[in-house]
Structure 1
Amino acid sequence: MRTVLLAGGGTGGHVMPAIAVGEELKKAGFNIIFGGGSGMEKRIAENYKIPFFGVQNVRFSRRNILENVKIPILLGKGISQAKKVLNEYKTAAVFAKGGYASLPWALAAKSLNIPVVCHESDLSMGLSNKLISRFAKKTLTSFPETKGGICIGNPIRGEIFSGSKERARKKYGFSGEILLILGGSQGAAAINKCVFQSAKALTGISEVVHITGKCTEAPDMKGYHHIEYADDIADLYAAAHTVVTRGGAGALAEISSLGKRMIVIPLPKSRYSRGDQVENAEYYMKNGRCRIIFEQQLAVSELVRAVESERKLPLGKVSDAHSAKKAADIIAEVISRELDY
């Protein structure tokens, strides 16, 4: 049985699509392992019973350029660690999902002449994928406008399409449809603060389920349900009439493919972000799939007004499936073909 290593990490957007591809590769008879760094990818991979290996990774710092002096040494260490794993498992191919955690694995694979296939979820390509795409056998993208790759859509786990609102209601104790608010896999302080301040008004419109990330300040009131992290997001999607989210490409693809009303509060361009979430959100807005509230405009009145407006829209006319349900199948097939050449 040939082994494929999934490489990625740091955020859910670099992990969950890789998991989706892994599911399809398993169906095709491949053995799957996951390579990342020290982030949430370890917990997620283990939840899916995929063997996980973490190595030293590096991250380009926009805040302190001097920190980048350490990159060559740390990257070299990560590559050396990754090569040991790739050799031990006689890895046939590496699927690199982007993000800094995928870079040591892709470079290690290159040094061992192991084929690499990479995928970019965002509208603009991130730094790691820009480097990896130079030697990857295939570079795939989610958006047709992304330069340097072939657009196949964003890989989405099959379970996303089989969520149960009844299961969610039983677990969390709400009764009807919900307003689902996502802070992203790492939480979002600005969104959380605004939701806390507007909780009373929002619960007057609908019951609210708010996924915050690590948080100790959530209000305690009827109709407001606070969760730090949800492993049953498909069930919550099924129960939602509207979803408030950051602008990560993975979340946008999932919510859009389910035809949910969507309010996007993208992470702004700053020393923490290259502005990819703004680009993603604007693409969806131009195609009639979401409403945007830019973070600098985020206020209680703006959020409540947006939720009230979206609530009036019929679900069926809000969105269609932007990201093909078969993207994960396509990537698995691409990897299989590369190994057959």
Structure 2
Amino acid sequence: MSKIMFTGGGSAGHVTVNLALMPLFLEEGWSVEYAGSAAGIEKDLVGALPEVKYFPISTGKLRRYFDIQNVKDPFKVAKGVYEAYRLIKKRKPQVVFSKGGFVSVPVVIGAWLNKVPVIIHESDITPGLANRISIPMASVVCTTFPETAEQMNTDKSRYVGAVVRKELHQGNADRGRDFCGFQRNQFVLLIMGGSLGARKINETVRSALPTLLKYFQVVHICGKGQLDPSLDIPGYRQYEYINDELPDVLAMADLVVSRAGSNSIFEFLSLRKPMLLIPLSRQQSRGDQILNAQSFEKAGYCKVLEEEELDGDTLFSGVMDVFKSRKEIVENMRSNPSSDALSTVFRLIKETADNK
């Protein structure tokens, strides 16, 4: 039986492409395994697929700033490399697919030491730190933006476009309204702060609720541990995370407020959902979300609100700006050339495994 091992985690964005690919391999009878952290979001998300065996490994965070944990984490990474090496030697996958995130680095190194081919997927315009470390050990690097392949200047890169989960196109708006208890005659605003870095968005949304609820029903995905139990308001629903019902919630949404992680915004583009993007600032990140948002704004797919300018008034103004421009934005989205990146990456992984 053919076997593949996936890795990636630390945020939902480092797992969603894996979640799109794994069912395709299961349908073809492959043995599918996952190496991730012991307590990361990837463990919860992959747990929804009982056929996938999950193996926790030690990992440290790769930081660009000073933190006392920087002294300890290299030892965790080294331990993770040893664990990943032994795991891959024992499990013997034909190929490893890495979505990135700090947990992926030990797995990629472990695969390389075992001479198992690695395919990396990079969602953003500029590769993240984990992927930059991993690229020299990879056989192929798949990119979402054509600019990424040009910047890398290596024959390993393959521009494939955005990988979008098939099930997102199977949502039903009426089911989404039933799930949230929403009326059918009022517009719906979906707010996705992301699994990381959502606190400021959450606080601002809640301060702006009295105004927003005059125009919209609001469904708010606020991240783990960030619910506010004191807010029980008609027309407002909050969830830490939505999994099975997400296609239905997206189907009912008229517009979206979101961070500018590449996987999410390409999913909204595929579904033609007008967006107000609030990218992580350069103080919080390497600036990749700012580049993603600028690219989408230039194409006419969204409006952008910088985090430094975010407050209740600017959030409301930005939402209304997107709402008033929604028809024009959807027309721009229709002109976006569609690609079947999911099938392309699926085929590329199988070819790499066959050529081992």
**Structure 2 length-normalised TM:** 0.91
SS at match of 1:179: strand
Aligned to 1:175: 183
Distance apart, 1:323 and its partner CA: 8.3
Residues 98 and 108 in structure 2, CA contact (< 8 A), matched pair in contact too: yes
Aligned to 1:189: 199
- For this pair of structures, how many residues does the alignment match? 340
Query: Structure 2 vs 1, CA of residues 94 and 321 (structure 1 numbering), >3 Å: closer, same or farther?
Result: farther
Aligned to 1:56: 58
Alignment partners' CA distance in 2, 1:163 and 1:334: 28
Residues 96 and 119 in structure 1, CA contact (< 8 A), matched pair in contact too: yes
Aligned to 2:352: 338
Residues 294-322 of structure 1: CA deviation (Å, up to 9, x unaligned): 01111222111222222222263142485
User: Which of residues 240, 244, 248 in structure 2 aligns to 1:235?
Assistant: 248
Q: Does 1:152 align with 2:160?
A: yes
Aligned to 1:215: 226
Percent identity for Structure 1 against Structure 2: 32
SS at match of 1:209: strand
Q: Which amino acid aligns with 1:328?
A: L
Alignment partners' CA distance in 2, 1:64 and 1:320: 45
Aligned to 1:278: 290
Q: Which amino acid aligns with 1:206?
A: F
Alignment partners' CA distance in 2, 1:18 and 1:203: 36
Alignment partners' CA distance in 1, 2:41 and 2:336: 27
Distance apart, 1:121 and its partner CA: 0.5
Residues 17 and 154 in structure 1, CA contact (< 8 A), matched pair in contact too: no
Residues 261 and 318 in structure 1, CA contact (< 8 A), matched pair in contact too: no
Q: Give matches, 1:72-221, under 5 Å.
A: 72-146=74-148, 147-148=151-152, 149-176=157-184, 177-186=187-196, 188-213=198-223, 214-217=225-228, 219-221=231-233
For the aligned residues, what is the CA RMSD?
1.8
Residues 148-176 of structure 1: CA deviation (Å, up to 9, x unaligned): 23211122211011111111111110013
Alignment partners' CA distance in 1, 2:99 and 2:310: 31
Alignment partners' CA distance in 2, 1:125 and 1:335: 20
Most deviating of 57-66 and 292-301: 57-66
Alignment partners' CA distance in 1, 2:67 and 2:205: 34
Distance apart, 1:193 and its partner CA: 1.1
Q: Does 1:310 align with 2:310?
A: no
Long gaps (5+) in structure 1: none
Query: Structure 2 vs 1, CA of residues 229 and 181 (structure 1 numbering), >3 Å: closer, same or farther?
Result: same
Alignment partners' CA distance in 2, 1:137 and 1:63: 30
Q: Which amino acid aligns with 2:42?
A: E
Alignment partners' CA distance in 1, 2:246 and 2:138: 32
**Structure 1 length-normalised TM:** 0.94
Distance apart, 1:57 and its partner CA: 0.9
SS at match of 2:94: strand
Long gaps (5+) in structure 2: none
In the TM superposition, structure 1's runs of 4+ consecutive aligned residues that sit over 3 Å from their partners are 69-72, 320-325
Q: Which amino acid aligns with 1:183?
A: G
